[in-house]
Amino acid sequence: MSMTIGKKSTGERAFDLLNVVFLSLFAFTAVYPFINVIVVSFSTPAAANQYGLKLWPQETTLEAYKIVFSNKMIWTGYANTIFRAVLGTAMNVLFTVLCAYPLAKRYLPHRSGYTTFIVFTMFFSGGLIPNYLLIKELGLLDNRLSLILPGLIAAFTMIVVRNFFMSLPEEIEESAKIDGAHDIRILFFIVLPVSMPIIATISLWYAVSHWNAWFDSLLFIQSPDKAVLGNVLRKIIIEGSPQFQEYDNYDPAKPQNLVTPDIIRAATIMVATTPILCVYPFIQKYFVKGVMIGSLKG
């Protein structure tokens, strides 16, 4: 009697092959638009205007990046976005932790009511006009704090952090209280050091949200020197920056035309998205662990 345990049948091997082919094609369709932007940003106008798949630059040039980095708007947007991402993420994480920690305690009076009230805000909000009027009455128009304070605590993120805190052994905190530690000391010196997976996860969420945000800046910020990178990117891609008007008329017969508006837009997209992409490898090991543990308890 032959043993066939562990050996795949022909049908199973065919299914695995189809799975690999289908998922590879699906992954390619998701990644290719980004690859196309990279290739176009490094290409000459003649190469960028060619038909067909663009998987690598045929004629490489850095002219578009030189033009983008010479634009003062890019550097101003970078400075404002970095300021917003750093300060905003730090405040988001701090206040999310301060809100989630007490709600993780079963002895907190009316804990379910507080949690229900916070979850309610995930489904219903005041709307665009009331939010604008609120920011105006608070005197935060054209103030960088208007980009941080309205979204100081994300309800969903707070629930995830609360669930993570509920999964921690209560004996750790009880032993600290016996030694005379108060709640603030327990939180910052005992709970947070063992909660780095969830802290890294929500830091990534908040940082990406701040880096990509642009609509609130469009509403609340009027000064060009306070515009974030998303608004600068929008101005260049959709509206067209006045500094790039000279590149609008591309003539293939003139070799001195080294770029086109499309190439400049591609280079601008790469300049805007590359920094936040570089963050992922450093905290990827915490990401999955933090999300899975934070979703165990409700």
5-40 confidence digits (pLDDT tens): 567 788 888 899 999 999 999 999 988 888 989 998
Q: What is the pTM of this model?
A: 0.79
143: phi > 0 → left, psi -120 to 50 → alpha, else beta; which?
beta
Contact 41, 48 (CB under 8 A): no
Cβ burial of 146 (10 Å; 0-12, 13-18, 19+) is buried
Q: What is the mean pLDDT of residues 202-206?
A: 89
Predicted pLDDT of residue 239: 64
> What would the pLDDT profile of 53-64 be if each residue is shown by its tens digit?
788 888 888 888
Q: How far is residue 54's CA from residue 256's CA, in Å, rounded to a whole number?
A: 23
Domain extents in the chain: 72-226+280-294
Third-level CATH fold of 72-226+280-294: MetI-like fold (1.10.3720)
3-state secondary structure of 60: strand
Q: What is the mean pLDDT of residues 102-130?
A: 89
Percent of the chain with pLDDT over 70: 86
Q: How far is residue 211's CA from residue 263's CA, in Å, rounded to a whole number?
A: 23
- Identify any residues that bridge with 286 across adjacent strands, giving them in sequence order: none
Q: What is the mean pLDDT of the chain?
A: 83
Check whether 190 has a pLDDT greater than 70: yes
In this prediction, residue 132 has a pLDDT band, given cuts at 50, 70 and 90, of: very high
Q: How far is residue 271's CA from residue 278's CA, in Å, rounded to a whole number?
A: 12
